[in-house]
Structure 1
Amino acid sequence: MDLFQREIRARVVEAGPDAIRVAVKLNDSFHEIALTLEVRPSDRTITGARAEFIRFPYDRCRDTMARLDNLVGVTIAPGVWRTVAREVGGKDGCTHLYELTMEALRVAMQGFYRYEWERLPQEERLPFLRRALAGECYIYSHPEVKARFLLEE
């Protein structure tokens, strides 16, 4: 017997000059919720946040969406996790909006790296990633490791 299933999908797109849009959607046995963050890459500031409750178990679940307004102006930097927990989660929030926001922040970082990568000269790209991801990724933390980039083959 299937007790529960969940899928989370995410996408980051360039949405204009100095703007990216992060869309994350949760679909599980009881919920279908979409979250969109608008972010300014130059200073990593959230400029917009909205959600759509498509399928949900209780008529008052939507009451929590207004808490996303508290994220506008927040910078994606160390400490942002605590800010999101305080502003979106907790007893007056929604655990699913909190979870989607956290995922949106994780994929936004990937979007920032790609956004910056695209604007760098070829010879600056690898050093940029080594600086940005040192301590976060085996390949970028160990310059002595010679790895072949497989995605361009």
Structure 2
Amino acid sequence: MIECALLRGRDRYERVVDGWIDNTHEDAFTHTVRLMDDDLGVELSAVATGSPSYEIREARSRVQPAAGALSDWALLGALAGARMVGGFTRRVGEAVEGRSGARHLVDAAVEVARLARQATKMPPERAARAAAGPWECWQLDMSGWIDLPNSCFTYSDAGRALFATRAVTTPMVPDLYSPPPGQARVFVRRKVARLAREGARLVASHSMHDNVHGFEIRYEIDLEKGVIVAAESRTPRLPYLGICSEPQTKISSLVGQAVDPNLRTRIQTLIGGASGCAQLYDLTADLLKLLRLY
């Protein structure tokens, strides 16, 4: 039997996350995330370097109660020097412990770390190669972000091989690799997660739309049995259409899976890893977190 804490006393829950990147420094970006739901809103802004260090130089946050205005910015000094790599979530949790909206701030920090993988700073003449098409963009990706190789199917050897066998298109542009100084909103993202009780089922959906991604996933869970009975996705925009498309059908492997504390681990092999899709995994894992951890 699935008991979702976020649906106690209500049949629907919605969380909206807006994130964007501003090119504010010669060697760093400012990543801002605004996370809002029916109960609370938070905003987290961090100045951070890109790959390979992903180091936060300074961070600040503010909180908005359900029926109130945003608070003044508060510095998060404990995050200065933190690297957005393994162990980052734990460090953020320690830094915001006891603060209003602590759980929301941890989730916002995770989104900041994800934004840090969406823009980089290359020499302009090198970034200009992106205009030549998908293959050039893919090569720039692999050299621009240290953690991309084998992070998903597209950046695996199998994904690379498909460039020679099929037509591939991409929305990637040179400004994502070398944005002009001072450019605002280099990259903009919106994510919407919804939980809804519909009769004997719980419907969980998550969408993400940004400069290069368009994902809309939906799961139906039998509340009594605690099992996923339907799973579907739409991907109107992908970084490399024709290659990123390959692992999207893996979502069907979740039908029949029990929604238990170990499902977040199992989906790493079912829909993630070098044969899967990192975005599909993240969107699904975030839904499971809403179902199980709150």
Give the shorter-chain TM-score range. Answer: 0.7 to 0.9
Match of 2:149 among 130, 134, 151: 134
User: For the aligned residues, what is the CA RMSD?
Assistant: 2.9
Tell me which residue corresponds to 2:27: 18
Offset at 1:100?
0.6
Q: What is the percentage of aligned positions where both structures have the same residue?
A: 22
Matched, 1:51 2:66: no
How far apart, in 2, do the equivalents of 1:45 and 1:10 lie? 18
Tell me which residue corresponds to 1:70: 78
Aligned structure 1 segments of 4 or more residues deviating by more than 6 angstroms: none
Tell me which residue corresponds to 1:145: 162
Offset at 1:13?
1.6
How far apart, in 1, do the equivalents of 2:27 and 2:169 lie? 28
How far apart, in 2, do the equivalents of 1:117 and 1:125 lie? 14
Indicate conservation of the 8 Å contact 1:139/1:145, yes or no: no
Match of 2:65, as an amino acid? R
Q: State the SS of the aligned residue for 1:84.
A: helix
Indicate how the Cα distance of structure 1 residues 116 and 86 shifts in structure 2: closer, same or farther if over 3 A, else same.
farther
Offset at 1:128?
3.8
Higher helix share: 1
Q: State the SS of the aligned residue for 2:117.
A: helix
Range moving further from structure 2, 69-78 or 100-109: 69-78
The TM-score normalised by the length of structure 1 is 0.74
Match of 2:37 among 17, 25, 28: 28
Task: Give runs of aligned pairs for residues 74-93 of structure 1, distance below 5 A.
Answer: 74-89=82-97, 92-93=98-99
Indicate conservation of the 8 Å contact 2:55/2:84, yes or no: yes
Tell me which residue corresponds to 2:208: none
How far apart, in 2, do the equivalents of 1:77 and 1:111 lie? 16
Unaligned runs of 5+ in 1: none
How far apart, in 2, do the equivalents of 1:97 and 1:22 lie? 14
Q: State the SS of the aligned residue for 1:110.
A: coil
Offset at 1:85?
2.9
Unaligned runs of 5+ in 2: 1-9, 131-135, 173-294
Match of 1:120 among 126, 133, 139: 126
How far apart, in 1, do the equivalents of 2:123 and 2:171 lie? 15
Indicate conservation of the 8 Å contact 1:24/1:36, yes or no: yes
Tell me which residue corresponds to 1:111: 119
Offset at 1:41?
2.9
Indicate conservation of the 8 Å contact 1:117/1:125, yes or no: no
Tell me which residue corresponds to 1:98: 106
Match of 2:149, as an amino acid? A
Indicate how the Cα distance of structure 1 residues 119 and 82 shifts in structure 2: closer, same or farther if over 3 A, else same.
farther
How far apart, in 2, do the equivalents of 1:31 and 1:130 lie? 38
Offset at 1:7?
0.4
Indicate conservation of the 8 Å contact 1:24/1:100, yes or no: yes
